[in-house]
Amino acid sequence: MRESIRIATRRSPLAIWQAEFVRKKLWELNPELEVELVALNTKGDQALDVALSELGGKGLFINELESALLDGRADIAVHSLKDMPTTLSENFCLGAVCARGNPCDALVTNLSSSLKNLKPGSIVGTSSLRRRSQLLAAHPHLEVREIRGNVNTRLDKLDNGSYHAIILASIGLERLKLHHRISCRLSINEMLPAPGQGVIAVQCHAGDPSIKSLIVPLHDEITGYCVAAERAVSARLNGNCQVPIAAYAELQGERNEIVLRAMVGSLDGTSIICARDWDCPNNAVKLGNRVGDKLLGLGADKILNNVAGT
């Protein structure tokens, strides 16, 4: 029985909240366990003057944390699942995904209660190509600009007038007790989320049974099936944050099946391709691959190739 465990995390307030959440869950299950946070600065957090897609993607947020696992400074790493590549090094595995929080995006603005009421030419900030594509598809009168930084930094940029509105994940604002900043929550129909959005993931060494046994009770089975389907779509399309891909799966209680929706769009929002399918939870990965194939059959590869070439 282990007596202690060290959690690698980014230093941002939201990342620390997530690590603290995992620490509390571990304490609930193992009251005598010593749990230490190892907070690290990542390149993705430091280089805020460059678009994330130009830096090489959200893998920049996890590289330093994986290094801490490899060199023994930490035993597990806590991530937002949406930031994790769909293919992990053979050294690591997802030991647990926690029950999903709110997967929706949120509009934050001091000017309006909805996107449709923003004036033509209003500047909307987002670092996500997925959000850019869907925003411009539904609201071509808006101007979308890159924005980087943690949640509070982005809110400061909004409040100082650099942007008329910004789009953030609802769950991040909720976890930081910033509910009052949400002008409106965007439904799944308005803006399809990123694969894994709203899910906290716990990463560990693939060959460490003592760590796995500690964290497996944190795993939520239904969330696991759903995100497996979502990540399979992204993997089938070779997706990352450098391309506008969205996917969201949920369990339909009446049929006890996972229903998966996915989207690929151009950066200017003029081309949007969607696909939908369903299957039993045990076929989650097959379902994701099938939906990915549907998107490819509708021309997603052409859109993604164009995005990659820009």
CATH 2.60.40.3710 holds for 227-309: no
Q: Which two tokens stand for residue 238?
A: 């070779």
pLDDT in tens, 146-158: 999 999 999 999 9
The one-letter amino acid at 309: G
Residue 193 has pLDDT above 90, yes or no: yes
Residue 241 pLDDT exceeds 70: no
CA separation for the pair 246, 230 (Å, rounded)? 8
| pLDDT tens-digit map of 24-51 | 999 999 999 999 999 998 665 554 455 5
Q: Give dist(CA 302, CA 281) in Å, integer.
A: 30
Query: CA dist 307 to 125, 179, 240, 265, Å?
Result: 19, 34, 12, 9
Q: What is the pLDDT at residue 191?
A: 97
Domain over 105-186 is classified CATH 3.30.160.20 = no
SS3 label, residue 201: strand
Q: How far apart are CA 146 and CA 37, in angstroms?
A: 31
Least confident of 10-19, 33-42, 73-82, 165-174: 33-42
Q: Which residues of 165-196 are buried (b: 16+ CB within 10 A; e: fewer)?
A: bbbbbbbbbbbbebeebbbbebeeebbbbbbb
pTM of the model as a whole? 0.92
Pick the CATH number of 4-98+199-219 from 3.40.50.300, 3.30.70.2740, 3.40.190.10, 3.30.830.10: 3.40.190.10
**Predicted pLDDT at 154:** 97
Sign of the torsion angle spanned by Cα atoms 41, 22, 86, 67: positive
Identify the active-site residue in 83, 105, 277, 279: 83
Query: Average model confidence (pLDDT) for the chain?
Result: 92
Rg (CA), the chain: 19
- Tell me where in the chain the CATH 3.40.190.10 domain(s) lie: 4-98+199-219, 105-186
Q: Using the 8-state DSSP alphabet, how is residue 193 labeled?
A: P
Handedness of CA 290, 294, 295, 296 (dihedral sign): positive
pLDDT classification of 58: cutoffs 50, 70, 90 = low
Structure confidence by residue, pLDDT tens digits, 160-171: 999 999 999 999
Q: Where in the chain is the domain with CATH 3.30.160.40?
A: 227-309
Structure tokens at 1: 């029985």
Residue 53 has pLDDT above 60, yes or no: no
Known catalytic membership, residue 83: yes
Which residues, in sequence order, are CB contacts of 299 under 8 Å at separation 6+?
273
User: What pLDDT sits at residue 243?
Assistant: 81
Q: Which of 225, 219, 175 is nearest to 201 (CA)?
A: 219
Q: Which residues are paired to 186 by β-bridges?
A: 105
pLDDT at 20 over 70: yes
Q: Residue 309: its pLDDT value, please?
A: 73
What is the percent of the chain where pLDDT is above 70?
92
DSSP one-letter string for 48-103: TTS-HHHHT-GGGGTHHHHHHHHTTS-SEEEEEGGGS-SS--TTEEEEEEPPP---
DSSP 187: P
Q: pLDDT, tens digit, for every residue of 119-143?
A: 999 999 999 999 999 999 999 999 9
d(CA 138, CA 120): 13
Amino acid at 288: G
